[in-house]
Chains A and B, each alone.
Chain A
Amino acid sequence: LAKTTQPISMDSYEGQEVNITCSHNNIATNDYITWYQQFPSQGPRFIIQGYKTKVTNEVASLFIPADRKSSTLSLPRVSLSDTAVYYCLVGAINAGGTSYGKLTFGQGTILTVHP
């Protein structure tokens, strides 16, 4: 499984755009990149998933360069409620969309949004 490296913590202010970068130098051809968010005392929540280029949904955008050795989760105009831990995960998914094995959660990035 590809190992991921993220910053341990980040600080931002309300209304700013936040970009969290994840390094995955050993990503394999079949690997997809998935991001989760976790609030204190809650289970993680799926945010976004992608393979290459850019993916956008109602919550965030995911930017993946051509070499796929890193990815950036972009949160537009954060609010206090975006304070959470953000996890970057890399795992293989076959053509049918099923993970070959399992998701491996790293330490994540603690994002703190200040007023």
Chain B
Amino acid sequence: DAEITQSPRHKITETGRQVTLACHQTWNHNNMFWYRQDLGHGLRLIHYSYGVHDTNKGEVSDGYSVSRSNTEDLPLTLESAASSQTSVYFCASSPSGRSYEQYFGPGTRLTVT
């Protein structure tokens, strides 16, 4: 069955380190999204992509970057991890023409110490 996976599921890192979170989907969806979820803030969009080589900034993109080299993957990189980036990160994908119908991954819990 088609699915969307995230790795690692849990990560502890130190302030200042570069961290990359992986997201892989097998639905062949063109649209992919990265969110973070914190208590009191709900889900906030970090970056999104509508296709290969396309990337767009969301509402909380500072300190994060993405690149889209193929349809299946959208890795999220924290250039220099900060304690404020401790959060649960969700990746999602959606079919072309239905970007409102997003399928979410299981999430990655990142702790920056």
Contacts and interface: CB of A to CB of B under 8 A. Distances in A.
Interface of A: 32, 34, 41-46, 49, 87, 89, 91, 93, 96-99, 102-108
Given A49-B101, A103-B45, A105-B44, A43 B106 contact: yes
Majority secondary structure, A binding face? loop
Interface of B: 33, 35, 42-45, 48, 50, 58-59, 90, 92, 96-107
A99 B45 CA distance: 14
Contacts, number: 60
Contact of B58 (A96, A102, A108): A102
B45 A46 contact: no
Given A42-B107, A102-B59, A106-B42, 13 more contacts: A32-B100, A42-B106, A43-B105, A44-B90, A44-B104, A87-B42, A97-B98, A97-B99, A98-B97, A102-B48, A103-B45, A104-B45, A105-B42
Contacts of A108: 42
Contacts of B50: 98
Contacts of B44: 105
